[in-house]
Amino acid sequence: MLDMLPLLAAALVVIVGIAVFSVVTGKKKNPSEKKTKKLKDRNSILKEANKRLAQNPKDSEALLMLGELYYNEESWDKAMHTYGLLMDLCGVDMSLNEYEISLKYAISSLKTGKYEEAYKGFLIARTKDMESFEVNYHLGILEFKRKSYEKAVPLLKHAASKQPDHLETLKYLGYALYKTGKAKEALPYLRRVFEHQPDDKETIYAMGQCYYELGANDQAIRVFTHLRPDPTYGPQAALLCGMTNLRIRQVDRAIMDFEIGLRHKEIQPEVLLELKYRLSSAYAQKQELGKALTLLMEIYNVQPSYRDVEALILKFRELNSNKNLQTYLIAPPADFITLCRKIVATFIPQAQVKILNIAVQKNEYADILTEVETAKWQDLIMYRFIRTTGVVGELMLRDFHARIKEAKAGRGYCFTAGEFSEEAQKFVEARLIDLVDKSGLNKILMTTN
């Protein structure tokens, strides 16, 4: 008996080995077997469903089998078609789950880029379940893409209440709120997305837009400066960065921003025109009218009706040929006042002029009160210099008349680089105010040194 033990042990090892081998090889064959079984199941589903539909094209159970199969396989065109057929049957077959069918129809439509059909499906699904995250989220996105931002906001808010950490919901909710003029409310949502996705340029740009709208200039400049090199958002970011710098009167920085924007190879046509327009404005503020005119002509050659480009070209050409008129209209306030003082000093021939007071109103006009003495008379005279090429109305003259009375001046002279309205001219007929329009002012400027 003892002699048999080695043989029994050897046999046991062989049996265990065979068992282990069978298990291992069985496992190796398992994926193939599963694939074969799955293929058989798919084929059997198709065979059975098509057989039933051949007998009854409105067999809802067969359509459900096919719809589920196509949906799980992500065969979106086929799934959309099948669930579309099922949606038509929901009105007559009460056993069908209209919410699930319309939802899967909508998602399948969305996957195939058929947004109108998707919109219809989600709307129907929402009538069945207004609390569904899936429905509110997708419907909110679709409303956003349709530019129905007011409708998108409540849908996306509803979705966010169901899944507060769903970043896509928070992102589009922030975008929609900004589009509806609620930049302050949009920022917290956009910041949360940025915290989790710091490389999301679209969200960063939207944050910059919010800061710009809220007048948070430093934050806006910081965001847009960061985005200026980006090939996608760079041109728009440079444009808004420059506009922000112009807002805080950093003209040199604004010029640099606009020039950086124009260096991009790919620029949307409307952004390109606006960059050139804003840069021309910045150059004009620096009194570099030659550069401003070049940009305006480039815009005019592409789109002659763009903003007030045609009028600006005429204006800048005239200013470029008349340095004093240029100073009168667009120079810094200090240079403008210096020129006005020169006009006052020589306006009345052979008179001694003493300036008593100078008041500047928001760089729009300046009032200069003077004491004038000639060989025959002496009086207080007030001058108003208006910095415009447009029409000066009666209200401006009424205000000037009140200032004259307040200063107890004997008379007044009002200058403009534009013209006076009929009402303004009638107002001064019975008052001691003389009007000097563009023609008269130009004659004076031509002889002013």
Taking the C-alpha atoms of residue 301 and residue 230, their distance in angstroms, rounded to an integer, is 28
Q: What is the pLDDT of residues 143-191, one digit of tens each?
A: 999 999 999 999 999 999 999 999 999 999 999 999 999 999 999 999 9
Q: Give the count of beta carbons closer than 10 Å to the beta carbon of residue 292.
A: 25
Tokens 């004997």 correspond to 410
Taking the C-alpha atoms of residue 194 and residue 199, their distance in angstroms, rounded to an integer, is 8
CB distance 223 to 211 below 8 Å? yes
Q: What is the pLDDT of residues 404-413, one digit of tens each?
A: 999 999 999 9
The helix/strand/coil state of 185 is: helix
pTM over 0.75: no
Mean pLDDT, range 118-125, rounded to an integer: 93
- Confidence (pLDDT) at 51: 86
Q: Is the pLDDT of residue 1 over 50?
A: no
- Confidence (pLDDT) at 48: 87
pLDDT band of 93, cuts 50, 70, 90: confident
107: closest CA among 137, 85, 128, 130? 137
pLDDT band of 375, cuts 50, 70, 90: very high
- Confidence (pLDDT) at 20: 46
- Confidence (pLDDT) at 15: 54
171: closest CA among 207, 142, 136? 207
- Confidence (pLDDT) at 28: 47
Q: What is the pLDDT of residues 264-297, one digit of tens each?
A: 999 999 999 999 999 999 999 998 999 999 999 9
Tell me which of 76 and 92 has the higher pLDDT. 76
Taking the C-alpha atoms of residue 83 and residue 69, their distance in angstroms, rounded to an integer, is 11
pLDDT band of 449, cuts 50, 70, 90: confident
Contacts within 8 Å (CB) and 24+ apart, 251-255: 251/282, 251/285, 251/286, 252/286, 254/278, 254/282, 255/279, 255/282, 255/283, 255/286
- Confidence (pLDDT) at 321: 83
Q: What is the pLDDT of residues 26-36, one digit of tens each?
A: 444 455 555 55
Q: Is the pLDDT of residue 55 over 50?
A: yes
Between vectors from CA 107 to CA 102 and to CA 112, what angle results, nearest 5°?
125
Q: Is the pLDDT of residue 302 over 70?
A: yes
Mean pLDDT of the chain: 90
Q: Is the pLDDT of residue 258 over 80?
A: yes
CB distance 317 to 343 below 8 Å? no
Q: What is the pLDDT of residues 6-47, one digit of tens each?
A: 555 555 554 545 554 444 444 444 555 555 555 558 888 888
pLDDT band of 318, cuts 50, 70, 90: confident
CB distance 319 to 330 below 8 Å? yes
Helix axis angle for 201-214 and 167-179, nearest 10°, is 30
- Confidence (pLDDT) at 16: 47
Helix axis angle for 149-162 and 167-179, nearest 10°, is 150
Kindly give the pairing relationship between strand 352-361 and strand 365-373: antiparallel
- Confidence (pLDDT) at 25: 47
Could you give the domains of the chain?
55-322 (1.25.40.10), 328-446 (3.40.1350.10)
- CA–CA distance from 433 to each of 205, 336, 353, 420 (Å)? 54, 22, 18, 13
